[in-house]
Amino acid sequence: AVTAVIVVAAGSGERLGYGMPKAQVPLGGETILMHALRGVVSSDVARQICVAVPKGDTVLRESIADFTVDLVDGGPEVTVVDGGSSRANSVRAALAALEDGTEFVLVHDAARALTPERVFQRVADALSSGAKAVIPAMPVVDTIKTVAETDGQDASIAPEVVTGTAPREQLRAVQTPQGFELATLRRAHEAAELFDEKQAAAVTDDAMLVELLGVPVHAVRGASQSLKITTPLDLIIAEGLLEGPLG
């Protein structure tokens, strides 16, 4: 089946705090985006790679052009689009740029720069086996609780109070690439375009939009190397992974 991979790289990287888009931040002598793109290419799942970059960013566009020149004949076609104001808007911009005939799409965070090839392959395999939606997921190590803001007298004790504890064996920390039948993901994103501001702000991945359609989302095993580089600590961990036995 013809599969495309969308790489969303249009975020600003506020929490990393480098004063530049996160995709441009150096990691082991290369940028975060170049690591991510090499991972996609070496997994060999994509006919097309569509990268969403920050609007007006010429640095990333030029580096993608250089990367594309070095690809061997028969390698994936690389397309670049301007991202949007939210991750979901960046995904939508890329969805609009996929070639006709594309059947499956994987959506991947550039910030997960070190995702192993095998995770892309597991996701692609599940799609080939008939899944309309599939996510890589990891068991949760922390105990996860829900909380609410305290009010009245309790507010002088602590800002939040626990409202429940989710059973940990049923919880998963979800990663990318998330894979979809293209028609299903397009339908999910069209529905999400009607969201109000609050609903839109609560969208943190693509699978949740597909869940809202009532389409089953399957989970395969992710990888710890697939961590999303979000904070300075994450960047230190990623540098360590590159230097260590996993690099």
Residues that bind ligand CTP (CB under 6 A): 8-15, 22-23, 52, 83-87, 90, 109-111, 228, 230
Q: Which does 230 bind (CB under 5 to 8 A by kind): Mg ion, ligand CTP, none?
A: ligand CTP
Total residues contacting Mg ion (rule CB under 5 A)?
1
* Binding partner of 186, given Mg ion, ligand CTP, none, CB within 5-8 angstroms per partner class: none
Nearer to Mg ion (CB atom), residue 11 or residue 179: 11
CB of 23 to Mg ion, least distance (A): 12
When the beta carbons of 169 and 226 are compared against ligand CTP, the nearer one is 226
Residue 223 backbone dihedrals phi, psi, to 5 degrees: -150, 145
Give residues 76-115 in contact with Mg ion (rule: CB under 5 A).
none
Rounded to a whole number, what is the distance in angstroms from the first to the last CA of the chain?
A: 31
Task: Yes or no: say if 163 and 146 are a contact pair by the CB < 8 Å rule.
Answer: yes
Closer Cβ to Mg ion, 14 or 62, answer by number? 14
Report which of 162, 26, 180 is spatially closest to residue 102, judged by C-alpha positions.
180
Give which of Mg ion, ligand CTP, none residue 92 binds (C-beta under 5 to 8 Å, depending on kind): none
* Shortest CB 13 distance to Mg ion, Å: 8
Shortest-Cβ-distance residue relative to ligand CTP: 11
Residue (19 or 152) nearer to Mg ion, CB: 19
Q: At what angle do helices 32-43 and 58-69 cross, to 10 degrees?
A: 30
Minimum distance, C-beta of residue 232 to ligand CTP, in the bound complex (Å) = 11
Q: Which residue has 């996929």 as its token pair?
A: 98
Least distance in angstroms from the C-beta of 94 to ligand CTP: 9
- Residue 38 C-beta: closest distance to ligand CTP, Å: 15
User: Among 7-15, 45-53, 186-194, 239-247, which window interacts with Mg ion (CB under 5 A)?
Assistant: 7-15
Q: How many residues can be counted in the chain?
A: 247
- Comparing CB distances to ligand CTP, the nearer of 9 and 127 is 9
Please report, as ranges, the residues that interact with Mg ion according to CB under 5 A: 11
